[in-house]
Structure 1
């Protein structure tokens, strides 16, 4: 509490210190005078007493000037009286402490050493002391102690400030990391929801349109379309439930999406065929187990690419999955229907690109009406050598 008040009102604190420095000796002098007959006060003593007050009162504003001025007054007082004024010595010590607190060590030592040399030379050439005198040593020792204490205080304050700054930066880093992780989680959840919902809603939309078209002309064929709608609805509800269940788990926060890899590719092709998309599937290389991240990314890229082909294409697509010793490559090619429109939210392409990047792979999508639209993704999956 006291430190906060001093920090907010430094000049008022210095005035209080100066008042105590001058007022206490004055009170003690008059208190002693009432009991005994003390030595009379001389004019130089009064001058030293009066000058000590402003020296301490303004030492925070001009510490170097105060130290030099007090040194000059101490030399003057020593030449006149052959003695030291105790209040001036205290004022010089306070000024030396302030200089050490406010300034780096080297200029502080230079200034205090210069003032000490001036005090010694003043005594050496004074009519009251010999050329080689030890009368200045106590004063120089006191100034050196005050300077060392001030330098230690400055170092401690700098250390505490550095610790506080490091703590502030660490807290800021933790907050930024928390915000970054929240953003990443939101993006991953949004990507997974888009991949799950978009595909099955597209299937439901196609089957609903077919059922609406057949209900009047060929009502006997409506039931298969409704069965596909029910199946797609059940599937999307199960996958959404799986996502929500994973999100509620607290023991493994890194796994926020259900595992679904290329092993489910035949089921996906059947679903797309039921939605009216004829897919020519070609597989090259030896099928093997892929890393979880790569397997899931490959499946989601195929799913989103075929969904886009069904929505924006002519009803046909070619899918090629190639296994090599270092990677798995996916290529989906479909003819883009002219006039059908390929503009969408763009989240599908963004999601596929993010999934490929998360697996340290590459992704490209190019083409459009009147030519074919091609999606290519290469995901690294090197074969592990047996140990």
Structure 2
């Protein structure tokens, strides 16, 4: 780059190229000044030098003011016959260069065509003999004078279109790369949230059960040794299950390549009895009620319903301060409404308690399958979680979740 580029000077390569254009135009002008009508050559007269200098002097302005440069060089070309010189393509080389520059810079093709056509028409009229017969040489020269500016304009416009095309291709490639990057980041974020949600649901449920079983064992350690032993056995089973599920989850995360079908099916409502039994061993009795006719669910909705029930009951165990809860599954034509309610007074968290992500995860799960979830305090006491999940037509369900879980206890009319 040139030493003064920061001050507005052109790069060195551009200056050399500009100098080459000016020298070429000057030489062509002088060469046009030595050609006569009878095709003889002589030394260029003073007027040829004047035309060459005047025409080339305005060429450096063709980038800043292309239309004015084209008008000036065309006007000088029109004056050539009046100075006793033959109007030929070499002597109007600066006008040809200006026509190319304007066609390259014109904002629209109509403006470019109009200005270049006017320049060609002016040079054509200037090259027309005013006296005498029109010879074939004169006609050929006139046609050439009109064609050369037009050809320069077409070349300039083609160059502009080519540059615009290459710029558009580069911009599309850049946008495509940015889109790919943003899509990759979005997928990574979604996968990170999904993994965090799965681990939270898994760990929170198992640890809550383990904590409840350990609390029971500690409470009954001195008074009921046999029941304490049973609670400890359940605690061992719960922690063992938690480790197995964590190993399975980590194994899936470490798997590379396209994963085939998972080693175990994702949990769904068919595993609801096992889930309720795990809560029962932790001291939470859950009354289940079904309304409507159960139907097969797509895997995503099936997993979402299971995880929401799991997390909602886990929250009852942790925060409600009660030993009972109610789970209701309401099957309608196009929607499954799952509600979990309790009558507990709730517990006051310690001042340094950090809010968890259970409700956030449940809402994200419901939204991901096109559903909606609400969680509110009941006016009569307790907490109510309601998830409304869409049900596609039976033929669209990709796998049946198995038979609906049986109601382990009599229906609860207040659920």
TM class by shorter-chain length?
A: 0.7 to 0.9
Q: Do the aligned partners of residues 129 and 348 (structure 1) sit closer, same or farther apart at CA in structure 2, a change above 3 Å counting?
A: farther
Matching of residues 1-387 of structure 1 within 5 Å: 10-22=14-26, 39-84=42-87, 87-103=90-106, 104-124=108-128, 134=139, 135-247=141-253, 248-252=255-259, 259-313=266-320, 314-341=322-349, 345-367=355-377, 371-384=381-394
- Give the TM-score of the pair, scaled to structure 1: 0.85
Q: Following the alignment from structure 2 to structure 1, what is the Cα–Cα distance between the partners of residues 43 and 311?
A: 103
- Report how far residue 361 of structure 1 moved: 2.0
Q: Answer 1 or 2: which has greater helix percent.
A: 1
TM-score (norm 2): 0.79
Structure 1 partner of 2:36: none
What residue number does 2:413 align with?
none
Instruction: Give the paired residue count.
Output: 370
Q: For 1:120 and 1:377, how far apart are their aligned partners in 2?
A: 83
Quick one: distance in 2 between partners of 1:197 and 1:8?
A: 67
**Cα distance in 1 for residues equivalent to 2:329 and 2:365:** 17
Describe the shift of the 1:107–1:42 C-alpha distance in structure 2 as closer, same or farther (beyond 3 A): same
| CA shift in 2, pair 1:47/1:26, >3 Å | closer
> Secondary structure of the residue that 1:375 maps to in structure 2?
strand
Q: In 2, distance between residues paired with 1:198 and 1:139?
A: 88
CA contact (8 A) 1:246 1:257 kept: no
Per the TM alignment, residue 143 of structure 1 is displaced from its structure 2 partner at its CA by 0.8
1:66 offset after TM fit, Å?
1.8
Rate the CA distance shift 1:256–1:53 in 2: closer, same or farther, 3 A: farther
Query: Partners of 1:8 and 1:182 in 2: how far apart?
Result: 47
1:78: Cα distance to partner? 1.4
Q: 1:24 to 1:120 in 2, by over 3 A?
A: closer
* CA contact 1:60–1:98 (8 Å) conserved in 2: yes
- Give the Cα separation in 2 of the matches to 1:315 and 1:149: 87
Aligned partners of 2:244 and 2:132: how far apart in 1?
104
1:25-62 deviation per Cα after TM superposition (whole angstroms, max 9, x unaligned)? 989x9xxxxxxxx7333111111232343344443232
Take 1:330 and 1:256, find their aligned partners in 2: how far apart are those partners?
28
The superposition leaves residues 342-369 of structure 1 with CA deviations (integer Å, 9 ceiling, x where unpaired) of: 9863411111112112222222111158
- How far is the alpha carbon of 1:336 from its aligned partner? 3.4
Partners of 1:206 and 1:275 within 8 A in 2: yes
RMSD: 3.2
Given that 1:123 and 1:129 are in contact with CA atoms closer than 8 Å, whether structure 2 keeps it comes out as no
Ranked by relative contact order (alpha carbons within 8 Å, sequence separation 6 or more), the top structure is 2
Q: Deviations over 1:160-216 (max 9, x none)?
A: 222222222222222221111111111111111111000111111112222333334
What CA distance in whole angstroms lies between the structure 2 residues aligned with 1:224 and 1:332?
28
Q: CA deviation at 1:246?
A: 2.7
Gaps of 5+ in 2: 1-9, 34-40, 397-415
